[in-house]
Amino acid sequence: MSETTDHRAAGAAGTASPLSPGSPEAPGPRAGFAERAARLDAGDPLAGLRDRFLLERPSDGDAAVYLDGNSLGALPAGVPARIAEVVEHEWGRLRIRSWTEGGWWQAPERIGDRIAPLVGAAPGQIVVGDSTSVNLYKALVAAVRIAQEGAPGTLGGSGAAGPAGAPRGAGSADGAGSADGQVGLPSAPAADGPLARAGSLPRPAGAGGGGEGSGPPRDEILVDAETFPTDGYIAESAARMTGCRIRAVPAAEIGAACGPRTAVALVNHVDYRTGRLHDLPGTTAAVHAAGALVVWDLCHSAGALPVGLDAHGVDLAVGCTYKYLNGGPGSPAFLYVRRDLQSRFDSPLPGWNSHADPFGMAPSYAPADGAVRGRVGTPDILSMLALEAALEVWDGVAVEDVRAKSLALTDFFLECVAAYVPRGRVECVTPAAHAERGSQVALRCEDAEEVMRELIARGVVGDFRRPDVLRFGFTPLYVGYADAERAARVLADVLAERHPGGGPPGAGGTGGGLPGAGGPGARDTAADGSHTTPGGSQATPGGPGTGSGA
């Protein structure tokens, strides 16, 4: 394999910082970066995966650089024909027979098993259907019910990060997001308003704890303070439903904040605004050590990096499929329930699809066994089968290789930005450390909305989050190094035209003059392009590059 594109070696540890432009060893002008990008792309073992998508060729005059796969993934090439087949044959000719002959009825679990290896789960633990918000509501309420009926200290998983011997806060990383990333959830309910009402509801009959010698009741839900707003809304509703109070704390402090009253913690694996990767193994272990459960939101990590749900003993998780899994706009979400918790999973939304005898039409509800319990009503077959076809792009692809290329791409992009953009024009709010970085780069700049609008007009598609963040999502299945170099070059041109003067291009370096991107973790990249150090918002209507997905 070419030394310039050994992504797995280059992204494994992440202990050094890129060279700061202006140093004696720094790369040359723009031509040097463009040449390096061409060499990297030529030797990239994942480069051919781009052909599995319906995208313009880089040689096309109107080809766009698409860096918004963290909002909506590109269209896999096999999806249109599959949807046509479903519409014309399965729906058009077989009609109702397709529920059995076409495998429609089993689709939620079958597709869940296809997603499972991408998030580190064994088969039989993931069901596909509904939206992320609906699945999150199911997961949170069910987790509280499990915690309230179970003995404290017995709720953790059987995986490597279970509660036995796990110190509180073990393995935690600095996951606190920027202050402006918070959604305003107070650390304690106010005197009035929905959070106060959530804390004042009576505890359901049979809730665990509170009896003599049994310890306090498990009546608290912890929420990542920088969470995507909808997660906060759902958590508030789940708290009202279960008689819990809700408390928001920074993601890095979730483990330490768990106490004897905590029922469940809700954490985002990757911060949707900054791209910060939170410590899933350490946080899960710490929550389990406190006798509570944890629900992870994988919307910005599923399909972008290894998750390890089973290995780390995660209790429940949810995620969308229209970002890095490329399932299409509004494609169904997924719900993970660890196998040993499935018999205790008490959904707040019981439906006929999750009934033990769905066609028996019994007046009372009896839940089915296994992951099927996560179903509610009739699945959206067209979207679901489009997702199934989209997942074929992962055939023969290891998510570890995707992660390594993601880190190499984002390292290279940050290096180009540092070399091209005058000092002080942008601030990187995405961590440089590989262990703390997802698959996006977020840059804060003045007039960010107008800047993104101009970038899109010039063929570089990212997105904008209020008030001042440019987001660039790197999907290694179809994004290359030339894309990263072009995006940085066009960004520099737009900023130079909007604000003439200032420091010369290359005056700011990642880890130095590019504020916010410093610190350990980015791979050292030599001038010849070789890797010298082994390494590892809510949508805003009317704004450029914003869509239905965070």
Residue-by-residue DSSP string for 7-33: HHHHTSS--S-PPPTTSTT---SHHHH
Does 228 appear as a known binding residue?
A: yes
Does 132 appear as a known binding residue?
A: yes
Does 284 appear as a known binding residue?
A: no
Does 229 appear as a known binding residue?
A: yes
Does 378 appear as a known binding residue?
A: yes
**323 noted as active-site residue:** yes
Nearest-angstrom CA–CA distance, 247 and 262: 10
Alpha carbon 282 to chain centroid, angstroms: 17
Does 322 appear as a known binding residue?
A: yes
Does 230 appear as a known binding residue?
A: yes
Residue in 33, 53, 322, 472 annotated catalytic: 322
Does 260 appear as a known binding residue?
A: no
Does 133 appear as a known binding residue?
A: yes
Question: Cis omega (within 30 of 0) on the bond before 467?
Answer: yes
Residue in 66, 137, 228, 324 annotated catalytic: 228
Residue in 6, 224, 279, 297 annotated catalytic: 297
Residue in 39, 338, 423, 471 annotated catalytic: 471
What is the three-class DSSP state of 117?
helix
| CB burial string 187-204: b at 16+ within 10 A, e below | eebeeeeebeebbeeebb
Nearest-angstrom CA–CA distance, 186 and 225: 8
Does 546 appear as a known binding residue?
A: no
Q: Are 228 and 248 in contact (CB under 8 A)?
A: no
Nearest-angstrom CA–CA distance, 479 and 407: 12
How, if at all, do strands 220-224 and 126-128 pair? unpaired
Distances (CA, A) of 315 to 147, 336, 344: 11, 8, 12
**Cβ neighbours, 10 Å, residue 276:** 30
End-to-end CA distance of the chain: 36
**297 noted as active-site residue:** yes
Does 352 appear as a known binding residue?
A: yes
**Cβ neighbours, 10 Å, residue 117:** 13
Q: Are 146 and 155 in contact (CB under 8 A)?
A: yes
Question: Cis omega (within 30 of 0) on the bond before 281?
Answer: no
Nearest-angstrom CA–CA distance, 212 and 299: 42
**471 noted as active-site residue:** yes
Which positions are catalytic?
Answer: 228, 297, 322-323, 471
Residue numbers belonging to the annotated binding site for pyridoxal 5'-phosphate: 132-133, 228-231, 297, 300, 322, 352, 378
Residue numbers belonging to the annotated binding site: 132-133, 228-231, 297, 300, 322, 352, 378
